[in-house]
Structure 1
Amino acid sequence: MRVMATRSLLFTRGEEEVKIKHHEIKDVPDWVAETMLFKLAQKDNTIQVIENKLQQKEAENSKPATNKKPATKESPAEEK
C-alpha cells in the first residue's frame, strides 16, 4: 500500500516499525492500515492512501516547496 503523510508518523506492530516522514510518499505493509494510528490519521487527513498514478501526482503537487526562501518585506527606507 502506498501512502503520503502530512506529518511524521511511526507505526508499530510488535517488534516491527514503519516510519513515514513529513510529506513522504512511501510503500508500507498492509498491516499498517489495521493500526489505530493509521485510522485516526486517515480520519483527520494526516495520511492518504495513494491508489493510482493520478492520486500520486496530486499528492506530489500538493507538497510544499522545501527550497524556497520566505519572502522578505522591504522596509520603507529600502523602497526609496
Structure 2
Amino acid sequence: MLVVPEHAAGHDAAHLAEAAIRSGVVTATGATGASGYPRYAGDGMEADIDPETRTVEALLVDGAELDYGLSARVSGRTPPG
C-alpha cells in the first residue's frame, strides 16, 4: 500500500513508489470493512480494498483518515479475494 500526493496519482508503479510519503504491507484480516469490502491491516494502516479493481475504498493511517491532497494506491500483487 502506498500513500502518495495526488499530483503523482497518474504515474506508473515505479514512479508512485518513489513519490510515496508512506508505504506499508497489509494483509487480509478475514473481516469485512464498513464499505463492504475485505479489510486489510499492517504497518499502521487499515484499509478496505476491492480485490477486483484494487481500489482502496477506505483507509486509516495510524488511526486517522488521510489529509486532503493524498491518495492511496495498492502496490505489488493483487490482494486475495
Q: TM-score, normalised by structure 1?
A: 0.23
Instruction: Indicate the structure with greater strand content.
Output: 2
Q: TM-score, normalised by structure 2?
A: 0.23
State the structure with more CA Rg. Answer: 1
